[in-house]
Amino acid sequence: MNDPGSGTDRGDARGKTIRLLGTNASNCQEPRVLVEHQKPLILVHDAISDPYTLRFSMHQHRIVALLASSVCALIPACAPEPTATPALPLRTWHESESGVLRNQTQLTFPAQFVKAGEAYFSPDGSKIVFQAIEQPSRGGTPEDFYAMFVADLTTGPGAPSLSNIRRISPAGSANTCGWFDASHPGRVIFGSTIVPPSKTEAPGFQRGTGRYRWQFPPEMRIVALDLDTAPSADGSPGHPTILAGDGTAYAAECSTTSDGRWLLYCTLASGQGDIVVKDLLSGSVTSLVTAPGYDGGPFFSNDGTTLCYRSDRHGDSLLQIHVCEVVRDASGAITGTRHERQLTANEHVNWAPYWSPDDAVLLYASSEIGHDNYEIFAVDAGESGDGAAAARTRVTQAAGADVLPVFDPSGTRMMWTSQRGEGRSSQLWIAELVVPYRPSISGSLP
């Protein structure tokens, strides 16, 4: 699970200078977009990246500057304008996103979490599951690995908010990719090492090399936990039940069919990222996507007939969004896949696809605007072809990373991980979608 990508011809900062505002966080200004001929060139960004920004090595890409977390980078300096030419207008992300999103609201905050993200809704939309690193007690050091949390979500009246936030993963373990089991109310599925991983190198941005290190611990297995289980001595719920993985090869990135029978996940058992499915009734495991390269981040469509996922099978350190049909036998058992289609075909990192409730649209994150400013796009999931003509729409337009988008069960809200807030740490946000919402102009961006 990594994220490289190449530059973009829309707002590419290559060959331009970056001006810095000292080292005082008070110098940070409200996120702005520099607009030229109604197209954003570049966004104010925080140069400090984290796992949600980059999940593949950055070996093909130069890092323009490495800043302390309190330093803000301004928009690239533009060529001097003639004296008589008026200044280019500046727009806030509220204005830039107004045609797609409204009532953008932050759900988690740096006061409680060093960083938080990759959140998913419960089937009824009343809860979320997410991964985060808590702020340590005064004088302490933040944990190296993500813990898993659940929280109650209130969406009205008033601004959305979280309550009853509680940690559900074992102490010291590394965790990722939570999911609610629709067939078992109160049951959460996620990737966990259960115990501290044997390799202690923490995931994160490597300042000496300019690369991001993502962790694939072989101890990572897919587990299930009943939220009603009595707490253990360390305050977390009881010991989780192992659903997949034997502790010798990474297994994570899990989700299920709406009936809870089929567990979909990524495994490194073959030495590369393959997508497999496990029948939780019989225990049988079937390989679904085994093409060369890393295929991962899979989700069933809501009707169970199609998969979405991302792939770097071309070996170019880029990622593209794919979909394929699920093949079942006469009994309804999943036996394979067919008719794979590539929905994106570009020189960027496209990842974290997620279905709309009607399976017509996929949200995903992309480096199309730049590697220091991942943004969320939507693509028509029903279009055929090689991806070049698939209708897509840009959803977010804020500084820093906007990634890991999900629809709520009603399709009226989007939740995602963003760095647009104070301090520019990765935190959870939610917003209402302006409806009807569909990608509109083929191959173009708003």
User: How much is the pLDDT for 438?
Assistant: 61
User: How much is the pLDDT for 185?
Assistant: 80
Do the bridges between strand 32-36 and strand 295-300 make them parallel or antiparallel, or are there none, so unpaired?
unpaired
How far is the C-alpha of 315 from the C-alpha of 338, rounded, in Å? 22
Q: Is the peptide bond before 217 cis (omega within 30 degrees of 0)?
A: no
Which two structure tokens, joined as six digits, stand for 72?
């803000």
Domain annotation covers residue 238: yes
Tokens 């939309």 identify what position?
Answer: 125
Count of other CB atoms within 10 angstroms of residue 154: 13
Domain harbouring 119, CATH code: 2.120.10.30
Domain annotation covers residue 48: no
Tell me the Cα Rg of the chain. Answer: 21
- The residue range of the domain holding 381 is 94-433
Domain annotation covers residue 229: yes
Residue 192 in contact with residue 174, Cβ under 8 Å? yes
Domain annotation covers residue 58: no
Residue 276 in contact with residue 265, Cβ under 8 Å? yes
User: How much is the pLDDT for 317?
Assistant: 80
User: How much is the pLDDT for 301?
Assistant: 97
* pLDDT digits 0-9 by tens, 382-398: 865 554 557 889 999 99
Beta bridge partners of 324: 307
Residue 172 in contact with residue 133, Cβ under 8 Å? no
Domain annotation covers residue 186: yes
Q: Is the peptide bond before 357 cis (omega within 30 degrees of 0)?
A: no
Q: Per-residue confidence of the chain (446 residues) as pLDDT tens digits?
A: 433 333 333 333 333 322 222 233 333 333 333 222 333 322 333 333 333 333 333 333 322 222 223 223 322 333 444 444 444 455 799 999 998 999 999 999 999 999 999 999 999 999 999 999 999 998 899 999 999 999 999 988 889 999 999 999 999 999 999 999 989 888 999 999 999 998 765 555 444 444 445 578 999 999 999 998 756 656 666 789 999 999 999 999 999 999 999 999 999 999 999 999 999 999 999 999 999 989 999 999 999 999 999 999 888 889 999 999 999 999 999 999 999 999 998 999 999 999 999 999 999 999 999 888 999 999 999 865 554 557 889 999 998 999 999 999 999 999 999 999 988 999 999 999 996 556 553 433 44
* pLDDT digits 0-9 by tens, 76-89: 333 444 444 444 45
Angle (nearest 5°) at CA 234 between 231 and 235? 40
Helices (H), 209-345: none
How far is the C-alpha of 373 from the C-alpha of 142, rounded, in Å? 25
Domain annotation covers residue 31: no
Domain annotation covers residue 57: no
Which two structure tokens, joined as six digits, stand for 428?
């959870």
How far is the C-alpha of 326 from the C-alpha of 379, rounded, in Å? 20
Tokens 């072989």 identify what position?
Answer: 218
**323: amino acid identity, one letter:** V
Residues in the chain, overall count = 446
Tokens 């006061």 identify what position?
Answer: 111
Residue 75 in contact with residue 32, Cβ under 8 Å? yes
Domain annotation covers residue 388: yes
How far is the C-alpha of 177 from the C-alpha of 130, rounded, in Å? 8
How far is the C-alpha of 74 from the C-alpha of 362, rounded, in Å? 32
Element (H, E) at 189: strand 187-192
Domains of the chain: total? 1
